[in-house]
C-alpha cells in the first residue's frame, strides 16, 4: 500500500468525500495495534526502526545535501549526516533505553544525578547518558531543569509520560513537518508516539518531498502496522488536515504566522475570531516556532587562539544550514568596554567571511536578506553577497535585527556597556526583553571569568528565559542531543504563542520541563588542557571551519549505525586532523 499522497492529490474518497480517508482508516487500525503492544514489544519495534534508519542513512544524507545545493564533495555536506540520521539514531537509542527501563519496573531517572538549580528548581544531569557519550561529545554535559513548582518526587512519579500507561487507548495526531532540518519531522513523530501515545499522520514540508521515499524506507516498521502515514502537500493540504475531525492533537514546527493561521484563520476572519475569543482550531496544539537567538559574549582575557576559535564558533551558529535554522544565532551581544572587542570583531569578520560558500536555498530567504540590507545600508555583504554582517553602533537602532527572525545568513552585532557581572546581567535582560522568542540562547565565557563571577553566573543563566541554553556551545547541539528537551521557555499561549508551546525530544520522557542547559569546552584540544573543560576534539565536526567535517560526520553516523570500534577509531583519527 502506498503511504504518500502527491502534492496535487486533492481527490476526495468516493464514498466519504474525505481525501484522507484511507490514511485515517489505517491509523485507526494502527492505534489499536499500538495499544496492544507491551513496553518490551515497543522497544523491539524501535530497534527495528533503528535498523531501517541505518540502512537508509547514506541515501538520507546524500539526498538532503543535494536538495540544499551541496555537491558530493562540498566540505559542509557532513551537516546532513549529523542533523538527519545521526540525531535520529541517538533519539531511538534513548527511547529504547527508557522503554526497557520501564519494562523492568524501573524509572527513566534511575541512576541520573539529580540536584538543585537556582530558585529551588530540580535539575537532572542527563548527559552524558552512556560512557560513549563522553567520546562522541567530548567535554560536553547537559542538564534538564524542571519548573520551580516540580519536586523530585513529582519528577520521579511522572517520568515516562504516556509509557507509564501503555495500555491506554491511543489517539490520532497530526504532525506538520519542518522544511529545513530533515530529522525534525521524524523526531516529532517519535515524540508524539512515545510521549503522547498518538499514532501519526505526518505531512512533510514541500522542501522535503524528495526525502519521502527515504523516510518510507527508514520508518517502514512504523508504517507497516499503521502507526504512521506520510502525505505530501502544500499549504492548502495542511490547512485541510488541521480541520480534519479524526485528529485529537496537532504539532507544528514552523513560524508563528503559520501557527496563528491554523488557530485563528487569516485576515478579517482572524481578527474577528480573536476579538470574540473563538479560535478556528478547537483541539490542542503544540509548536516549535523559532525566534531571534542571542549570542552573549562575556568579556575576559582571551588569547588570540581563543578569539579565533570563538569567532568560528559564532560563524557556525549563524551559517550552519546557510542560516535556515530556527536556532541560528542572530544577534551577538558584546561589551563596549571590553579591551579586546575590536580584536574580537576582526576575528569574527574573518571567520564569517571565510567560511565555505554555499547556496542560500530556503524559500524567500533572499528576500529577507534584501530587507535586512535595506534596513541597514552599512551592512557588509560577504562571500559574494550570500551573507550579511550588520554591526549596529546604537542598540536602539537594532529593532529589526531583534524582532525579525531572518532565517537566512544575516548576523548582527550590538554592544552594551559594562564588564563582569554588570555586563552579563545587562545582556541577559536585553536578550529577555528586546529579542523576539524564547527558544535558545548561547553564552560564551572563559573559565577564569566564570570563576570570578561564581554564583552570579549561574543566577544569570537561571534568569535567561529560554528553553535551551548553551554555555560555550551552540544550541543546535542541544537540538541534536536528544536526551535533552527541545522547545520554547514555558509561557506560550494560543493568543501569544512566542516560540511555541511544549517540548519534544526528551528521550527520558520527563514531565514539568522548564529548560535544558548544555555546557561545552571553552577551548578545543590540545588547548583544552589549559582549562575551560577538557575535550579530545580539536574542532567539532559541526563547525563550518572544520577541515574534516564531512568525513568525521559520516564516520560518527556509521559508528552509531553499527557500533564498530574500528569505525570509531578511524573517525577519531580523522577528527584529530581537524
pLDDT score of 278 more than 50 = yes
Question: For the residues 379-403, what does the mean pLDDT come to?
Answer: 94
Task: Provide mean pLDDT across the span 339-357.
Answer: 98
What is the pLDDT at residue 231? 97
Domains of the chain: 22-108+159-254 (3.40.605.10), 293-512 (3.40.309.10), 547-578 (no CATH)
Query: Does 159 have pLDDT greater than 60?
Result: yes
Enumerate the H helices of 355-497 as residue ranges. 365-375, 399-403, 420-434, 447-453, 455-463, 475-480
* Residue tagged 550570500 (cell numbers): 386
| Residues 433/425, Cβ–Cβ less than 8 Å | no
pLDDT at position 546: 94
Chain mean pLDDT for the chain: 95
Specify the DSSP class assigned to residue 488.
P
Q: Is the pLDDT of residue 459 over 60?
A: yes
The per-residue pLDDT for 530 is 84
Q: How confident is the model at residue 393 (pLDDT cuts 50, 70, 90)?
A: confident
With residue 485 as reference, give the H or E element that holds it: strand 485-487
Helix (H, G, I), strand (E, B) or coil at 495: coil
- Is pLDDT at 558 greater than 80 in this prediction? yes
- In this prediction, residue 182 carries a pLDDT of 98
Nearest to 116 by CA among 124, 108, 107: 124
Per-residue confidence (pLDDT) for residue 115, from 0 to 100: 96
Euclidean distance between CA atoms 271 and 264, whole angstroms: 8
CA distances from 558 to 85, 89, 181, 217 (A): 10, 10, 19, 18
pLDDT class of 216 with cuts at 50, 70, 90: very high
Q: 3-state class of 132 per DSSP?
A: coil
Q: What is the mean pLDDT of residues 384-399?
A: 93
- Report d(CA 230, CA 505) in Å as an integer: 20
pLDDT tens for residues 488-527? 999 999 999 999 999 999 999 999 999 999 999 999 988 8
Q: Kindly report, residue by residue over 217-272, the tens digit of the pLDDT.
A: 999 999 999 999 999 999 899 999 999 999 999 999 999 999 999 999 999 999 99
What average pLDDT does this structure show over 454-477?
A: 98
- pLDDT over threshold 50, residue 1: no
Residue-wise burial string across 498-515, b where 16 or more C-beta atoms lie within 10 A, e elsewhere: bbbbbbbbbbbbbbbbbb
Amino acid at each position: 500500500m502506498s503511504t504518500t499522497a502527491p502534492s496535487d492529490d486533492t481527490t476526495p474518497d468516493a464514498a466519504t468525500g474525505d481525501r484522507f480517508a484511507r490514511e485515517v482508516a489505517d491509523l485507526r487500525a494502527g492505534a489499536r495495534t499500538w495499544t496492544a503492544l507491551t513496553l518490551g514489544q515497543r522497544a523491539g519495534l524501535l530497534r527495528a526502526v533503528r535498523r531501517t534508519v541505518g540502512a537508509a542513512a547514506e541515501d538520507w544524507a546524500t539526498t538532503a545535501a543535494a536538495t540544499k545545493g551541496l555537491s558530493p564533495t562540498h566540505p559542509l555536506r557532513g551537516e546532513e549526516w549529523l542533523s538527519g540520521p545521526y540525531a535520529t539514531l541517538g533519539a531511538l537509542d534513548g527511547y529504547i533505553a527508557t522503554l526497557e527501563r520501564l519494562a523492568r519496573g524501573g524509572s527513566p531517572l534511575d541512576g541520573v544525578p539529580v540536584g538543585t538549580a537556582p530558585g529551588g528548581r530540580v535539575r537532572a544531569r542527563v548527559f552524558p547518558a552512556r560512557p560513549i557519550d563522553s567520546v562522541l561529545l567530548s567535554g560536553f554535559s547537559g542538564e534538564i531543569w524542571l519548573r520551580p513548582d516540580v519536586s523530585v518526587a513529582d519528577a520521579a512519579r511522572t517520568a515516562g509520560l504516556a509509557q507509564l500507561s501503555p495500555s491506554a487507548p491511543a489517539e490520532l495526531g497530526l504532525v506538520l513537518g519542518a522544511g529545513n532540518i530533515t530529522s525534525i519531522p521524524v523526531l516529532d513523530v517519535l515524540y508524539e508516539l512515545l510521549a503522547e501515545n498518538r499514532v501519526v499522520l505526518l505531512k512533510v514540508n514541500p522542501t522535503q518531498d524528495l526525502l519521502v521515499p527515504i523516510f518510507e524506507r527508514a520508518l517502514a516498521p512504523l508504517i507497516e502496522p499503521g502507526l504512521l502515514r506520510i502525505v505530501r502537500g502544500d499549504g492548502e493540504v495542511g490547512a485541510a488536515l488541521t480541520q480534519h475531525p479524526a485528529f485529537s492533537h496537532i504539532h507544528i514546527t514552523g513560524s508563528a504566522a503559520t501557527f496563528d493561521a491554523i488557530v485563528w484563520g487569516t485576515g478579517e476572519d482572524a481578527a474577528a475570531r480573536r476579538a470574540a475569543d473563538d479560535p478556528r482550531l478547537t483541539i490542542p496544539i503544540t509548536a516549535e516556532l523559532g525566534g531571534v537567538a542571542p549570542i552573549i559574549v562575556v568579556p575576559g582575557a582571551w588569547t588570540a587562539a581563543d578569539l579565533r576559535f570563538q569567532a568560528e564558533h559564532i560563524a557556525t551558529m549563524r551559517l550552519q544550514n546557510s542560516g535556515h535554522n530556527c536556532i541560528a544565532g542572530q544577534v551577538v551581544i558584546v561589551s563596549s568596554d571590553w579591551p579586546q572587542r575590536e580584536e574580537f570583531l576582526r576575528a569574527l569578520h574573518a571567520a564569517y567571511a571565510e567560511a565555505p560558500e554555499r547556496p542560500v536555498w530556503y524559500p524567500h530567504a533572499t528576500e529577507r536578506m534584501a530587507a535586512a540590507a535595506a534596513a541597514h545600508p552599512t551592512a557588509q555583504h560577504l562571500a559574494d553577497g550570500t551573507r550579511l554582517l550588520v554591526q549596529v553602533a546604537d542598540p536602539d537602532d537594532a529593532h529589526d535585527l531583534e524582532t525579525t527572525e531572518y532565517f537566512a545568513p544575516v548576523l548582527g552585532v550590538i554592544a552594551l556597556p559594562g564588564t563582569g557581572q554588570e555586563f552579563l546581567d545587562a545582556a541577559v535582560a536585553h536578550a529577555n526583553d528586546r529579542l523576539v522568542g524564547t527558544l535558545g540562547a548561547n553564552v560564551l565565557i572563559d573559565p577564569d571569568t566564570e570563576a570570578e563571577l561564581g554564583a552570579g553566573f549561574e543566577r544569570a543563566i537561571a534568569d535567561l528565559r529560554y528553553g535551551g541554553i548553551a554555555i560555550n556551545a551552540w544550541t543546535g547541539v542541544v537540538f541534536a542531543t536528544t536526551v535533552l528537551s527541545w522547545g520554547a521557555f514555558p509561557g506560550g499561549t494560543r493568543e501569544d504563542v512566542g516560540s511555541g508551546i511544549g517540548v519534544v525530544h526528551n528521550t527520558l520522557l520527563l514531565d514539568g520541563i522548564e529548560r535544558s542547559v548544555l555546557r561545552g569546552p571553552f577551548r578545543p584540544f590540545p588547548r583544552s588542557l589549559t582549562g575551560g573543560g577538557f575535550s579530545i576534539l580539536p574542532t567539532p565536526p559541526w563547525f563550518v571551519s572544520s577541515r574534516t567535517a564531512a568525513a568525521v560526520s559520516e564516520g560518527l553516523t556509521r559508528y552509531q549505525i553499527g557500533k564498530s570500534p574500528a569505525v570509531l577509531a578511524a573517525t577519531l583519527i580523522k577528527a584529530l586532523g581537524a
